[in-house]
């Protein structure tokens, strides 16, 4: 450890001892690609030990945010601090504390699992017995021990993702960031990956920040922030956010959604919004409304779905946009 780092470590641990340290503090972060503003004045903080998710459709700004946090995108305006270390000013100190799992594979396909881990460890200055010990432990935690000598290109997608996780955790990062970690995994591999992540978190006390467009994955986070067109539109625990939607959510598929919406307003004085060709109503007593509605307007209804609000409903409620809007998603 060099002197500069010792000094910055002290500076980093400022503040009163009682408050739990912040793993990540982001203030007024903005980023533009030549013309398009990809991230617009985003401010949030993640407490140590949290699992924090960024939920948003593709193009919402998640990947840009991830690139900035991973220290790979320069020239963002605003500040970001990882455990008190400024991302732009003290990049090396941040990198030592950061584990990164990219959306695209970062493993050498021609090397074995063990060789990939060893290479990664040495890049972080870890050698000898400690490297051996850390590799062994990570392989064990992620149930990869019997795969240690397999060449990566021969592994399945789910296994490769677990190796990525083992690699990212090898140097004992305090903050683990993951970009769309479950994209491209089948449901079984996704479940395995999530349980591996939960185990790692319990064993290593690591803070986890991930981006996702998967509602289920977002629902498993302690807190989430919703990104829409580069802006953060909400932040909170999934349950809290769902509670912001007024009661139940009813979605009616009708041949003429506009007419149907007008009739709803006239007869029941509820306002529906039209999202993606369906009429969407939020109502505190949804079940009663559904019954009355089917009685009165049954002939015009193709189908009705009714339920407690999901995170997708939260997104629609907040933005008036459907979640999977726009161009078909090529990344997933």
Partner 1 sequence: MSIVPVQAATLWWREITRFRRQRSVIIGSLVQPLIFWVLIGWGFRASFKPSGMPAGIDYVQYFYPGVIMLVLLFTAIFATIQTVEDRQAGFLQGVLVAPISRATVILGQALGGTTLALAQGLIFLALAPLAGIALSLSAIVTTAMMMALIAFALTSIGLTIAWRIESTRGFHLIMNSILVPIWFLSGAFFPANGAPSWLAWVMRINPLTYQMAALRKGLYLAYPAAAIGALPPFSLSIPVSIGFAIVAFAVASRVASRTSAV
Residue 70 or 183 having the CB closest to partner 1: 70
Residue from 21, 41, 88, 124 touching partner 1 (CB under 8 A): that is: 124
* Least distance (Å) between residue 193 CB and partner 1: 18
137's enclosing H/E stretch is: helix 128-141
* Least distance (Å) between residue 153 CB and partner 1: 11
Residue 93 or 252 having the CB closest to partner 1: 93
Are 252 and 278 a contacting pair, CB within 8 Å? Answer: yes
Residue from 81, 120, 147, 283 touching partner 1 (CB under 8 A): that is: 120
Q: Which stretch binds partner 1 (CB under 8 A): 43-51, 117-125, 201-209, 226-234?
A: 117-125
Cα separation, 172 vs 169, whole angstroms: 5
Query: Which CB contacts under 8 angstroms, 24+ apart, belong to 102-106?
Result: 102/70, 102/164, 102/179, 103/63, 103/179, 103/180, 103/181, 103/183, 103/331, 105/160, 105/164, 106/164, 106/167
Confirm or reject binding of residue 15 to partner 1 (CB under 8 A).
no
Residue 13 or 106 having the CB closest to partner 1: 106
* Least distance (Å) between residue 318 CB and partner 1: 32
Confirm or reject binding of residue 23 to partner 1 (CB under 8 A).
no
Confirm or reject binding of residue 130 to partner 1 (CB under 8 A).
no
Q: For the chain, give percent helix, strand, coil, nearest 5.
A: 40, 25, 35
Q: Phi/psi at 26 (nearest 5 deg)? A: -120, 130
Q: Which stretch binds partner 1 (CB under 8 A): 53-61, 114-122, 221-229, 253-261?
A: 114-122
Binding to partner 1, residues 164-183 (CB under 8 A): 167
What angle do helix axes 128-141 and 113-123 make, rounded to 10 degrees? 130
* Least distance (Å) between residue 206 CB and partner 1: 16
Q: Which stretch binds partner 1 (CB under 8 A): 25-33, 57-65, 105-113, 257-265?
A: 105-113
CA distances from 209 to 113, 129, 146, 180 (A): 25, 30, 29, 11
Are 70 and 263 a contacting pair, CB within 8 Å? Answer: no
Count the site residues for partner 1 by CB under 8 A: 32
Collapsed DSSP state (helix, strand, coil) of residue 326: coil
Site of tokens 């140097």: 171
Binding to partner 1, residues 63-82 (CB under 8 A): 67, 70-75
Residue from 4, 13, 77, 109 touching partner 1 (CB under 8 A): that is: 109
CA distances from 235 to 105, 207, 261, 308 (A): 29, 17, 30, 19
Q: Which residues bind partner 1 (CB under 8 A)?
A: 67, 70-75, 92-93, 95-96, 98, 100, 102, 104-111, 115, 118-120, 122-125, 127, 167
């Amino acid at each position: 450890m060099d002197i500069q780092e010792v000094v910055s470590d002290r500076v980093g641990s400022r503040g009163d001892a009682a408050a739990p340290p912040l793993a990540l503090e982001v203030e007024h972060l903005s980023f533009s690609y030549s013309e398009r503003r990809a991230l617009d004045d985003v401010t949030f903080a993640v407490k140590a030990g949290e699992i924090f998710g960024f939920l948003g459709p593709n193009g919402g700004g998640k990947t840009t945010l991830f690139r900035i946090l991973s220290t790979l995108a320069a020239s963002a305006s605003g500040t970001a601090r990882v455990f008190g270390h400024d991302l732009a000013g003290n990049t090396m100190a941040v990198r030592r504390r950061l584990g990164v799992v990219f959306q695209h594979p970062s493993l050498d396909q021609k090397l074995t699992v063990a060789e990939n881990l060893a290479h990664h460890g040495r890049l972080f200055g870890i050698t000898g017995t400690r490297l051996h010990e850390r590799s062994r432990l990570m392989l064990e935690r992620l149930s990869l021990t019997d795969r240690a000598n397999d060449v990566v290109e021969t592994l399945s997608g789910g296994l490769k993702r677990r190796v990525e996780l083992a690699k990212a955790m090898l140097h004992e990062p305090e903050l683990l960031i993951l970009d769309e970690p479950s994209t491209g995994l089948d449901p079984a591999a996704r479940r395995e990956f999530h349980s591996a992540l939960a185990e790692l978190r319990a064993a290593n006390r690591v803070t986890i920040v991930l981006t996702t467009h998967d509602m289920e994955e977002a629902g498993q986070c302690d807190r989430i922030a919703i990104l829409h067109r580069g802006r953060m539109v909400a932040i909170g625990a999934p349950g809290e956010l769902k509670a912001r939607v007024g009661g139940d959510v009813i979605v009616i598929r009708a041949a003429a959604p506009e007419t149907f919406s007008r009739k709803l307003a006239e007869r029941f004085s509820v306002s529906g919004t039209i999202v993606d060709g369906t009429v969407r109503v939020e109502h505190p007593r949804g079940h009663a409304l559904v019954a009355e509605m089917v009685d009165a307007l049954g002939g015009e209804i193709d189908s009705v779905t009714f339920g407690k609000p999901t995170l997708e409903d939260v997104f629609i409620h907040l933005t008036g946009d459907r979640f999977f809007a726009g161009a078909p998603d090529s990344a997933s």
